[in-house]
Amino acid sequence: MYNVAANDTSNEILIKLFHDIDRIFSYQTCDINSIIELYTRVYNYCTSASARLAEFRLLETATGRRKYLLKATLPSGSSGRAGGELYYYFESYLINYLENLLQMNNNISREYLLQFYTDQWNKYKFSSNLLKPIFSYLNREWVQFALNSGYNSIHETFTLSMLLWREIMWKSLKDKLTDTCFDLIKSYYDNQVADIKLIFILIESYLAIDFPHKMFIWLNDEEITVLNEKIYENYFEKPFLQNTEEFYRSKAIFDLENISVIEYLEKFTPYINKDMELIYSYLPSSTQEQLIKLIYEIFLKDHLDIIQNHIDKLIHEENIQDLDMIYKIVKQIPIIKNQIIEIIENYFYQTGIKTIEYLRETANDDLNVYIETIFDIHKKFLKLIQQASNDEQSFTTALNKVCSQFIYYNRMTYIANDIKQSLDLLVKYFDTILTEGNKSIEKINLEKFNQIMIFLNYIEDENFLENFYKEILRKLLFDQLTISNNNKESIVSLESDSEDILSFYTNLWDKYEISSKIRSQKKKMNEISIMAIKIWQKYVFHRLNKHIIKACLDLIKCEHNNEVINTHLIGRVIQSYVTLGFGEDTKNNTNNNNDNNNRMTSPALTIYKDYFEIEFLKDTEEFYRLESVTFLVNNSVTEYLKKVAQRLDEEVHRTQSYLHSSTLQILIENLEEILIHDQIQLIYAEAKILLHSESHQDLALLFRLVNRIPNATIELNKIVENHIYDMGINTIEHVSETAINDPRVYIETIINIHKKFLKLIQNAFNNEKSFTTALDTACSKFINNNTITQTAGITTKSSELLARYCDVLLRRGNKTVEETDLEEKFNEIMVVLNYIEDKDHFLKFYQKLLSKRLLHQLIILNEYEGLIISKLKQIYTYEYTTTVERMYQDIIISKTLMSEYEKFCKNPHLTDLVNFSAIILNSKSWPFLIPSNLILPIELKSTFNSFIDFYTDRHHRRKLTWVHQHSKGELQTFFTSQKYTLQVSIYQMVILLLFNKTLNWKVKQIQDETQIKSELLRQILSGLLKSKILICKEISEDEYLNDSDIKENYSIRLATDFISFYFKPEVCLIKKCIDILIEKEYLKRDSNENDVLHYLN
C-alpha cells in the first residue's frame, strides 16, 4: 500500500480512505455500502475546514507537483477548496501501483507478457471504474474548479488513471506487446492453440488510452505533454493489415485455369473464416472495412469475371448446394454479394416472363392456370432463396421486385393491352375460392388463400384493390346470412339456447374473418381491413349484440355454479369484439375512452369495454355479494378466506382463458372490495385467533388476501406487534425468578421468543418488511422494559445480562458451551444486542468481563474472542470497538513480548530472577482504576527491575505502571512437613513473604513495611485469616470475622498446620472429581494400568 505520511497535511480520513482504495485495487471488489462510506470520506475531507487550513499552511513549504495541486484551488488563501492533497496522494498511489506492476513484469517471460498485461489491465480498469462514484464529489467540485482556473494538467480521476497507465505501463511495453500480439495471431492462423480473446482486451486498452487531442500530465515531478499518437491505428491496425496482406499473398498462389471456382474458394476459405471471426468478435468497424477490402483485392478482384460466370451458371442450373456454399464464403464481400443479387434478379425475371409466355393459349381459356402459374413461380424462387441464402432480406427484396415486374409486364398483359389484366384474372380467381367456401369454412383452400394474399402485395393499383375487396366481402357476408335464414337458423329461433346462439355467431365470424385477412405492409391494406370490420358492424353486430351478450353472461353464470360450459365460444366472441374495435373511428371515441375507474382505454377496445365488460362486471359483482353473505352465515372466517382465494384464482383463470387481459385488473379490484374489504373487521378478529393458535398456514392465506387491500396491513401489523409484545412480556415474567440472576435463562428465553416469531413472520407474512419492523418494535419494547428490568430497578439490566451471557459462553470450563455452535450463538447475541437501547452500557459490561477473561486466561479460544469482536464492529462504530479490539490485541502482543523476555533472561549477568510473566496493557483501553502504592519485597525486585530494563530498552517513551490489584502468583511452603503451592494475589504474596523475616508481625508493622492502604490491608488480612494461613491470637477462631475487627496493634503470625483446616478430602469425593475430569477429557486412564492417569493437553 502507498502510505500517507504522518507529518503530511492528510488526517485520519486520508489514511482510512487509501487503505480501502488499496483493497479495491488488490481484490477488485467493493459493495454498495462501502462505496457510500468511501464517498462520504471524500466528501468530508473536501468540505472540512481543518483540511482546507492544513492545505493552505502546507502550500508555503510545498514544491513541484504538490505545490501546483495545492495552488490550483487555493488562489485566494485558506478560503479556497480542499482537495489538492487528496488528489496528490491518489496520483502518487497510482504511480506507485503502476511502477510496482512494471517491476513485476520484469520477471514475466515474453510468452506470458500479453496474458499478464491484459489481466492487469482488466483489474486496473475495473478498479478505476469502481472509484468513479467514490471520487464524484472531488471530480465535480475540486477538479472542475481547477480546470476552469486553467490548470490543464489536472484531470478527473478516471482520466488520470488512464493517462498514467499509458505513460507508465504502455509506453514501457508497447514494442514488446506489438510483437507478442502478432505472434499470437500467427499461431491462430496456423491452427495452434491461441487465446485470441487477449487481442480483444489489448485493443480495448489501446482505444481507452488513445486520447484524441493533446493533454498534459505530471510525472516524476515534471509536467509532460501527452500527444495524440493514434495508438490503435499505429500500433495495431496498420501492422495488422500489413502482416495480414503479406500472409494472404503467400497463400494466393492458385490459378483458376487449373482448378474449379469452388475449389479455389475453398482454398482460402479457412483464412477468411478466421479473419471473419476476428472482424466480428474483436475488431472495430474501421478495421473491418479495410480487411474485407483487402480480402477482395487479393483473392477475388483478378478472378471476378470467372466467378461471376460460374455463379450465373449455378443459378440457371438451380444448383442450390453449390450456390449455398459460395454464398457462405463471399457473403461478407459487398461487391460479390451485390453481383449475386443482380444475377438472381435477372434470372428470376427472365424465367417468369418465359414461363408465362409458354402458357399464353392455355391461360386465355383457364384463369386458374395463369394465376396458379404465378403462384408456382413465386414458390419456386422463394424456396431457392431460402436454401441458398438462408432467407436473407436483401434476396427476398430482390424476389419481390422481380415478381412485381413480371406480374404487370408479361405476354398476357401485352396482348390485352392492359397492365390490369392480371388484376381482373385475380378477381375472378378470388371469387371462385370464396364461393367454394360459402357452405362450409373447411372447404376454403387456405393455402391458395394465403398465396392470394402474397399476390396482393405486388398490386400497385390500391384504389382498384380497395373496390374489389369491398364487393367481395359484402357478397360473402350476404350469402352467409341468406344461407342461415333459409335454413331457419336465425338468432330468433336459437334464443333459448345460449351455446347455439354463440355457435351460430362464431361460425359466421370465423368464415368472415378468414375472408377478410390481409397480409400486407401497404398503407391501403389497413384501410381495407377497417372497411371489412365496418361492414360486419353494420350488418351483424348491431343486429345481434344484445342476444350475444346475454348468451355469454348466462354461460358464465353457469360456470360460477360449477357447470361445465364451452368456454371456446365465449373466447371467440370476445376476440371478435376486440377485432371490431379496430374499426372504431378515434374521433368518435373521444368521449368513451375512459372506463368507470378512470383508466385510459385504447380505442381498439371500445366495443369490448362498452358492450361486454360493463355488463360482465355488473353481473359478477352481484353474484359475489350474495355468495359472500350466504357463505359467512354457515362457515367460519378461515373457511371463508379459503373460498375467497379459490374464487379469485377462478376469475384469474377465467380472464386468461377467454376474456381480454385488460379486464383482469378492474375485475379483481372489484372483487377484492366486495370479498375482502367489506369483511375486513371479521378478518382482523380472525387474525388474533390464528396468532394464538399459531396456525401459520392459515395466517399466510389471511395475509395474502389482506395485502391486496391498500393500507389494510397497517392494522394487521399492529395486531401482530401487540401479540409478540404480550407473549414476550408473559414469557419473561414466567421465568423471572430464575432469569434475574441467570443470564443464560434470560437471554435464551429472549432468543427463543425471537426465533419463534421470526419463523412466524417468514412463514405467514413472507418476511414482508413492515411485519419484520413490527417484530423489531415488539422485541425492543419487551427486552428493554419487562419484569426483570423493573425488579432490578435499572433500565440497563438487559445490557448487563447479555454481557454476562457472552461471558458464560466464552469462559473456559463450561461443558454445555463446548458442545454448542458458538458462531450461531454469537449471531443470536447480535440479534438481541440490536434491540438493546443502551448499547454503551452493554459494551462497558462486556469490556469489564472481557478484561477478566483475558487477564485470568479463561478464554476458550482466541478465535472465538476475535469472532465476536468482528461481529460487534458491525453494530458499533470504529471508535467504540477499537477499545475492545485493542484489549484483545494486547494479550496477543504480550505473548510475543514474553517470548523475547525469556531470551533476554538467559543473560548470565541476571541473577535472583523468579519465574515471571507479564501482560502489557494499554492504559487507555483497560477499565482499571489507578493502583495503590505497594513496596515490593526483595524476592521480587530483581525480576521486576529486569523486566523494566528489558521493556524500556525497546520502548523509550513508554512508562510501565504495575496494576497490582489484577496480579497474582504462586508461593511454595517450606515450613510444612510436605511442600504446598499457594495461589495468591500479589498483595497476599507481599504480606506472606514478610514472614520470611520474622514469624510475628503487628498489623501496623505490615502496613508500614508494604505501604498498602489501611482499608485494603484489612480486607487482605481478613481473607488470609479466614483461610487459616495466618493466625491472630486476639481473634477467636469461632467468632465471625469482619474487616473492621482487625486492629493496628493486633499480632499476626503464620499457621504451621493450616493445611489440616481446609483440606480434609474423602476418598469418594476424590474419585468423583477424577471421573468428572475424565468425562471432560482433561484426564484419561492408562490402557495398561488402571490406577495411572494421564493429563490431556
So what's the pLDDT on residue 336? Answer: 74
| 31 Rama class: left (phi>0) / alpha (psi -120 to 50) / beta | beta
pLDDT at 518 over 50: no
So what's the pLDDT on residue 489? Answer: 43
Please compute the mean of the pLDDT values over residues 433-439 and round it to a whole number.
Answer: 52
Could you tell me the residue range of the domain that residue 202 belongs to?
Answer: 12-237
Cα–Cα distance for residue pair 1030/479, rounded to 1 Å? 130
Q: Evaluate whether 243 touches 182 at the Cβ level (below 8 Å).
A: yes
Beta bridge partners of 224: 217
Residue 223 φ/ψ, nearest 5 degrees: -85, 125
Residues 1005 and 1070 in one domain: no
H or E segment and range at residue 1051: strand 1051-1054
Cα–Cα distance for residue pair 985/976, rounded to 1 Å? 21
The total of other beta-carbon atoms located within 10 Å of residue 845's CB is: 19
Residues 40 and 185 in one domain: yes
Does the residue 622 lie in any domain?
Answer: no
Q: To which residue does cell 478466421 refer?
A: 274
Residues 215 and 154 in one domain: yes
Cα–Cα distance for residue pair 138/39, rounded to 1 Å? 9
Residues 1026 and 1082 in one domain: no
Q: Evaluate whether 58 touches 85 at the Cβ level (below 8 Å).
A: yes
Orientation of helix 713-734 relative to helix 696-706, angle to 10°: 150
Q: Which of 861, 892, 923 is the last residue of a domain?
A: 892
Cell of 474: 359484402
Least confident of 153-167, 262-276, 931-945, 992-1006: 262-276
Please compute the mean of the pLDDT values over residues 328-337 and round it to a whole number.
Answer: 72
Total number of domains in the chain: 4
What CATH number does residue 1072 fall under?
Answer: 1.10.10.10
| Residue among 691, 817, 711, 819 at smallest CA distance from 760 | 691
So what's the pLDDT on residue 591? Answer: 41
Residue 367's pLDDT band, with cuts at 50, 70 and 90, is low
Residue 1005 φ/ψ, nearest 5 degrees: -65, -40
Alpha-carbon torsion (481, 483, 488, 489), positive or negative = negative
Residue type at position 126: F
Residues 1058 and 1077 in one domain: no
Residues 755 and 842 in one domain: yes
Any residues with CB less than 8 A from the CB of 381 and at least 6 apart, and which? 348, 351, 399, 402, 403
Burial, 555: exposed, middle or buried (Cβ in 10 Å; 0-12, 13-18, 19+)? Answer: buried
Q: How far apart are the first and last CA of the chain?
A: 41
So what's the pLDDT on residue 186? Answer: 76
CA torsion 30→36→39→43, rounded to 10°? -160
Q: To which residue does cell 497474582 refer?
A: 968
Cα–Cα distance for residue pair 86/92, rounded to 1 Å? 10
H or E segment and range at residue 1053: strand 1051-1054
Least confident of 327-331, 432-436, 487-491, 608-612: 487-491
The helix/strand/coil state of 217 is: strand
Residues 824 and 701 in one domain: yes
So what's the pLDDT on residue 789? Answer: 92
So what's the pLDDT on residue 275? Answer: 65
Does the residue 146 lie in any domain?
Answer: yes
pLDDT per residue as tens digits for the range 261-318: 777 776 666 666 666 666 666 677 777 777 777 777 777 776 777 777 877 787 777 7
Please compute the mean of the pLDDT values over residues 726-734 and round it to a whole number.
Answer: 94
What CATH number does residue 992 fall under?
Answer: 3.30.230.130
Does the residue 121 lie in any domain?
Answer: yes
Cell of 603: 380505442
- How many residues does this entry show for the chain? 1097
Q: Which of 858, 892, 926 is the last residue of a domain?
A: 892
Q: Evaluate whether 1003 touches 1050 at the Cβ level (below 8 Å).
A: yes
Cα–Cα distance for residue pair 125/209, rounded to 1 Å? 11
Residues 77 and 93 in one domain: yes
Orientation of helix 769-784 relative to helix 713-734, angle to 10°: 30
Please compute the mean of the pLDDT values over residues 426-453 and round it to a whole number.
Answer: 57
Cα–Cα distance for residue pair 897/947, rounded to 1 Å? 11
So what's the pLDDT on residue 490? Answer: 45
Please compute the mean of the pLDDT values over residues 989-1007 and round it to a whole number.
Answer: 90
pLDDT at 372 over 70: yes
Cα–Cα distance for residue pair 1072/1070, rounded to 1 Å? 5
Least confident of 469-483, 631-645, 870-884, 953-967: 469-483
DSSP secondary structure letters along 391-425? T-HHHHHHHHHHHHHHHHSSHHHHHHT-TTHHHHH
Chain centroid to Cα 373, Å, comes to 61
| Residue among 123, 96, 97, 119 at smallest CA distance from 108 | 119
Cα–Cα distance for residue pair 122/202, rounded to 1 Å? 10
Residue 238's pLDDT band, with cuts at 50, 70 and 90, is confident
Q: Which of 188, 204, 237 is the last residue of a domain?
A: 237
Residue type at position 563: E
Please compute the mean of the pLDDT values over residues 180-194 and round it to a whole number.
Answer: 76
Does the residue 306 lie in any domain?
Answer: no
Q: To which residue does cell 487528496 refer?
A: 86
Any residues with CB less than 8 A from the CB of 519 and at least 6 apart, and which? 450, 453, 454, 457
So what's the pLDDT on residue 726? Answer: 95
So what's the pLDDT on residue 376? Answer: 81
| Residue among 185, 208, 186 at smallest CA distance from 197 | 185
DSSP secondary structure letters along 510-562? HHHHHHH------HHHHHHHHHHHHHHIIIIIHHHHHHHHHHHHHHHHHHHTT
Whole-Å CA distances, 5 to 8, 38, 85: 5, 20, 12
Mean pLDDT of the residues in the chain: 78
So what's the pLDDT on residue 639? Answer: 95
Cell of 893: 502482543
| Residue among 905, 908, 885, 909 at smallest CA distance from 897 | 905
Does the residue 352 lie in any domain?
Answer: no
Residues 699 and 823 in one domain: yes
Share of the chain above pLDDT 70, in %: 75
pLDDT per residue as tens digits for the range 44-62: 888 877 677 667 666 666 6
pLDDT per residue as tens digits for the range 832-847: 999 998 888 888 888 8
Residues 1072 and 1037 in one domain: no
Residues 735 and 834 in one domain: yes
Cell of 512: 368472415
Cell of 1089: 494400568
Q: To which residue does cell 462497558 refer?
A: 844
Any residues with CB less than 8 A from the CB of 784 and at least 6 apart, and which? 795, 798, 835, 836, 837, 838
Beta bridge partners of 983: 970
Residue 439's pLDDT band, with cuts at 50, 70 and 90, is very low
pLDDT per residue as tens digits for the range 546-578: 889 999 999 999 999 989 999 999 999 998 888
Beta bridge partners of 1002: 1051
Q: Evaluate whether 26 touches 101 at the Cβ level (below 8 Å).
A: no
Does the residue 533 lie in any domain?
Answer: no
Least confident of 99-103, 511-515, 799-803, 1078-1082: 511-515
CA torsion 129→132→133→135, rounded to 10°? 140
| Residue among 209, 216, 41, 35 at smallest CA distance from 132 | 35
Cα–Cα distance for residue pair 487/473, rounded to 1 Å? 22
pLDDT at 483 over 50: no
- Per-range mean pLDDT, top range of 670-684, 944-958, 1052-1066: 670-684
Cell of 935: 513496596
Please compute the mean of the pLDDT values over residues 882-888 and round it to a whole number.
Answer: 76
So what's the pLDDT on residue 434? Answer: 56
| Residue among 179, 389, 186 at smallest CA distance from 274 | 186
So what's the pLDDT on residue 930? Answer: 65
Cα–Cα distance for residue pair 761/129, rounded to 1 Å? 40
Least confident of 187-201, 485-499, 656-670, 883-897: 485-499
**Count of alpha carbons within 13 angstroms of residue 1092, beta-carbon side:** 5
Cα–Cα distance for residue pair 1052/1022, rounded to 1 Å? 11
Residue 362 φ/ψ, nearest 5 degrees: -65, -40
Q: What is the pTM of this model?
A: 0.53
Residue 365's pLDDT band, with cuts at 50, 70 and 90, is low
Please compute the mean of the pLDDT values over residues 336-340 and round it to a whole number.
Answer: 77
pLDDT at 830 over 80: yes
So what's the pLDDT on residue 527? Answer: 61
What CATH number does residue 93 fall under?
Answer: 1.20.1310.10
Residue 456's pLDDT band, with cuts at 50, 70 and 90, is low
Least confident of 107-116, 340-349, 450-459, 753-762: 450-459
Alpha-carbon torsion (688, 689, 694, 696), positive or negative = negative
Cα–Cα distance for residue pair 1064/1067, rounded to 1 Å? 10
Cα–Cα distance for residue pair 687/198, rounded to 1 Å? 63
**Count of alpha carbons within 13 angstroms of residue 105, beta-carbon side:** 24
pLDDT per residue as tens digits for the range 681-728: 999 999 999 999 999 999 999 999 999 999 999 999 999 999 999 999
Any residues with CB less than 8 A from the CB of 76 and at least 6 apart, and which? none
Does the residue 819 lie in any domain?
Answer: yes
pLDDT at 70 over 80: no
Cell of 857: 486466561
Alpha helices per DSSP H over 211-333: 231-232, 238-251, 261-281, 285-295, 304-317, 320-330
Cα–Cα distance for residue pair 345/402, rounded to 1 Å? 6
- Per-range mean pLDDT, top range of 79-88, 200-209, 684-693: 684-693
Does the residue 729 lie in any domain?
Answer: yes
pLDDT per residue as tens digits for the range 5-41: 333 344 567 777 777 888 888 877 778 888 888 888 8
pLDDT per residue as tens digits for the range 397-424: 777 777 777 777 776 676 666 666 676 6
Least confident of 386-390, 727-731, 972-976: 386-390
Cα–Cα distance for residue pair 710/702, rounded to 1 Å? 15
Residues 1052 and 1074 in one domain: no
Q: Evaluate whether 132 touches 160 at the Cβ level (below 8 Å).
A: no
pLDDT at 978 over 80: no
